[in-house]
Structure formats: C-alpha cells, structure tokens
Amino acid sequence: MRLLSYSLWGNDAKYGVGALRNVDLAAEHYPGWRCRFYLARSVGADLRRRLAAAPNAELVAVAAAGDWRSLLWRLHAAADPRVEVVVFRDTDSRPDGRERAAVEEWLGSGLPIHVMRDHPWHRRPIHGGMWGLRRGALPELPALLAAWPAADRWGDDEDFLARQVYPRVADRCLVHDEIGDGRPFPVPRRPRHHVGMVLDEHERPVADHLEALDRALAVSAVPSGKGVPA
C-alpha cells in the first residue's frame, strides 16, 4: 500500500475543504495511492461522512480533540506493516504535478527518505508536510514519537523532525531543494507557485508567501557576478 498521510482536527474550513480537495487531486496525481486521515473527535460528522465516501480515502479515529500536537499523528502510518511507501502531507496544501514528479524521481532513486523544500522560508531540515519514507527506513520512529515531550504549539512537529529524525536519516535522503543546496525539481515551476503552498478554502495563497518567493527567484535570476540591481 502507498499512502498520503494527513492529520485533521477542528472545524476550520481551510483544512476541511482542503482535505476533500486533496482526496480528489490525489486520485489524479497519485492513482492507486490512498489518503489516510488521522481524525480528531472534533472533526464534524458531515466532513467525516464525505471523506469516508471517497474510494481512495481511509479514516483513523483518534480519541482526542486535537491541537498542534496532532500533527504528529500522521507519522504513525510509517509503523503500519502494510504500507510500502508513505508521504506526509498537509490539508492546506495541494498535490500537483511538480510534487508528484519529485516523488517519482525519489522512488526511482532507491533512497529510503524523501525531503522537499521549495520556498525561501523552507529552511527547516524536514518540513512536516513535505517528506516521505519507505517501509523499514526508520523502524525506531514509534519509540521516538512515544518519548517526545510534544507541546501544543505551532512547529513542534518540525522540532521533532529536526532533532529526532533528520540526524538519523540525513545521509539517506533525496532532497529536492533548488532554492537551497539540494537537487532541482524534475518539473519546472509554474509562475508564482511552489510545492507545499498554503491555500485557504477558496484556493487563495498567502500573499506574503508569494512575495517572499518572488524576491528569492528575482535574486536567483541575476547573472553570477552582476549583483542585485539597486
């Protein structure tokens, strides 16, 4: 089984609408894969019903209301012995062809871990919704999760990944990161777009995220030795 693994809690439309949209897009970009949602009890009945009705989705109920610590739930998919490959994703970002091509290149590489960074603010070693692994790549992950003193704050999951996961896998990763020092993505960037782009329930991106991307790409387009125009 190949999975896209998500955590979902609360009733913010950005995440609920995004989850439904991602199920549809996964059928297009990841045919044969399944979307697994680790659902808090705070997720509404209608959203549960609609997700459960999707032929490529499966739900795992978690007996908690959900908070920022819940982002770690999606990592438990790696311990499922039926799962050959799992990629961890966010419900407020959309799968697309650029991401999918990068995943295919990773799968063809034979390396056990995949990491993507595609924006100047993607500077953590691993971003929570932009990585994946093969079965058996990190067998100690359940024990690491159990020992982690999770905190209800944004970024706690990426602290876990930076401190407990990345040091164990850094030499076994395929990293797509053409803004940084990684491998270029195999598919060209669409204008004003990046993998992992945060979108609201109306598919609108965050304005300052786009502005930061525009600035970084403008600098990278300046010929070597010319400097940045005043």
Q: 131 with 87: CB under 8 angstroms?
A: yes
**Which pLDDT belongs to residue 226?**
36
**Which pLDDT belongs to residue 222?**
39
Domain that holds residue 182: 2-220
pLDDT digits (tens, 9 = 90+) for 71-83: 999 999 999 999 9
pTM over 0.95: no
Place of tokens 């012995």: 81
78 in any annotated domain: yes
225 in any annotated domain: no
**Which pLDDT belongs to residue 221?**
56
**Which pLDDT belongs to residue 153?**
85
In terms of Cα–Cα distance, which of 48, 15, 55, 50 is closest to 33? 55
183 in any annotated domain: yes
226 phi/psi in degrees, rounded to 5: -90, -25
pLDDT digits (tens, 9 = 90+) for 100-136: 999 999 999 999 999 999 999 999 999 999 999 999 9
88 by Cβ neighbours in 10 Å (0-12 / 13-18 / 19+) ranks as buried
Helix or strand run (H / E) with residue 160: helix 156-160
Which CATH number is 184's domain given? 3.90.550.10
66 in any annotated domain: yes
7 in any annotated domain: yes
Interval 8-19 mean pLDDT? 96
**Which pLDDT belongs to residue 224?**
38
79 in any annotated domain: yes
230, pLDDT greater than 80? no
228, pLDDT greater than 90? no
Type of residue numbered 158? E
229 in any annotated domain: no
In terms of Cα–Cα distance, which of 88, 75, 96, 71 is closest to 195? 96
Type of residue numbered 92? D
In terms of Cα–Cα distance, which of 181, 137, 131, 135 is closest to 160? 131
Count structural domains, the chain.
1
Provide the H-helix boundaries in the chain: 13-29, 45-53, 97-109, 141-147, 156-160, 166-169, 207-220
226 in any annotated domain: no
